[in-house]
């Protein structure tokens, strides 16, 4: 049975999807973008956007009864591969060894023209 997870500490869904779904002991998040939930603003620059996106992700995981240490897999979508090293530095602030498995892909465009979007699969 699946359970919808939502929190006002992460951006609300901007389409017909849930922020996250719990199935059994596993949490599947939707793509999280760097929108400040309280204001709807988007920070300037790739590092600030990465910080906000990861903060939003951590808040969503917490709402689901999980945390960074329980993340199994992430997928990171970035607008500019030249930001890869800077985003890795932010990523390393939130995830410690053993790191989750990860895919990172450059994409042409993301919702609201942000520079990063991240999704995760985690244990509860």
Question: Residue 75's domain is classified under what CATH number?
Answer: 3.30.1330.40
Is 104 marked active-site?
yes
Grade residue 83 by pLDDT with cuts at 50, 70 and 90: very high
Q: Do strands 101-106 and 71-78 pair parallel, antiparallel, or not at all (unpaired)?
A: parallel
pTM (predicted TM-score): 0.96
Full residue range of the structural domain in which residue 22 is found:
2-123
Contact 90, 116 (CB under 8 A): no
The larger pLDDT score, comparing residue 84 to residue 1, is at: 84
Contacts of 23 (CB under 8 A, 6+ apart): 1, 2, 3
Query: For 91-104, how does the pLDDT look when each residue is reduced to its tens digit (9 = 90+)?
Result: 999 999 999 999 99
Tally of domains within the chain: 1
- Among candidate residues 104, 110, 123, 124, the one labeled active-site is 104
């Amino acid at each position: 049975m699946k359970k919808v997870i939502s929190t006002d500490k992460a951006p609300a869904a901007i389409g017909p999807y849930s922020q996250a779904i719990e199935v059994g002991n596993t949490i599947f998040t939707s793509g999280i973008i760097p929108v400040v939930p309280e204001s709807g603003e988007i920070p300037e620059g790739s590092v600030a956007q990465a910080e906000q996106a990861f903060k939003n992700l951590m808040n969503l995981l917490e709402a689901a009864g999980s945390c960074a240490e329980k993340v199994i897999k992430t997928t990171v979508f970035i607008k500019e591969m030249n930001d890869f090293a800077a985003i890795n530095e932010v990523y390393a602030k939130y995830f410690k060894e053993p790191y989750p498995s990860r895919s990172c892909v450059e994409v042409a465009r993301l919702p609201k023209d942000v520079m990063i979007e991240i999704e995760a699969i985690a244990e509860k």
